[in-house]
Amino acid sequence: MNKLRILLLATACSLAFAAPAQDTNALKTEIGVFESRTGVVIVKGFGQIGSVVAGSAEISVRIKETTDVSIGRKVYGLAIEIDGNPFRDRIPVDDDEVDSLLNSINYLVKINYEVTTLPSFEASFSTKACLRVIAYSVRREGAVEYSLQYSDQPRISLTQMQMTQLYGLIAQARKNLDALKTDK
């Protein structure tokens, strides 16, 4: 009887560990919480702004408008989609985070070795949904390197030009969001 209990307990534990973890990063955003509500019709609208290709990954920027039909409330933001082999993620960015993201990318593109007296550095900005924009260097010579990372996915290396392109897409998205909100 004890052997049966141990076997059942071991089986239950192995199934619990084998279950995939739920990604709750989207629920840290206003958009994620708004879209996860049940019992109401939610309409999600997207507008493609553009994309940057970095190696085998494509980073797309979209504006986003989510509406609760029952009360007419709308929530705005961005959807940053990373399509890389073997993963694909759509990361929500709340409207109130867009300016901070833009300011951070602008800072990181201009960063240099004077940021610290130590030989290496890493500077990063993270959104509520765990999208990280990173600038780093492992020694005080050569170019600063850049990457984009979502949650615990592998980093996607970007050149300074690709970071500047990403900045431009997000800046255009900001303008489009502002226009969309004034048209409501």
Before 92, cis peptide (omega within 30)? Answer: no
Percent of the chain with pLDDT over 90: 71
Whole-angstrom Cα distance, residue 92 to residue 128?
A: 9
DSSP-assigned letters across all residues of 67-99: EETTTTEEEEEEEEEEE-SS-EEEEEEEGGGHH
Helix, strand and coil in the chain, % to nearest 5: 40, 35, 25
Angle at 128 between CA 123 and CA 132, to 5 degrees: 30
Q: Can you give the pLDDT at residue 25?
A: 58
For 68-76, what is the mean pLDDT? 95
pTM above 0.85, yes or no: no
Closest CA to 77 of 134, 133, 33, 23: 33
Does 15 score more than 70 pLDDT?
A: no
For 121-134, what is the mean pLDDT? 96
C-beta atoms surrounding 82 within 10 Å: 20
Beta bridge partners of 157: 147
Q: Can you give the pLDDT at residue 17?
A: 42
Does 22 score more than 70 pLDDT?
A: no
Query: Residue 41: which pLDDT band, with cuts at 50, 70 and 90?
Result: very high
Whole-angstrom Cα distance, residue 15 to residue 40?
A: 33
What is the set of domains in the chain, with CATH numbers?
24-183 (3.30.2450)
For 149-154, what is the mean pLDDT? 90
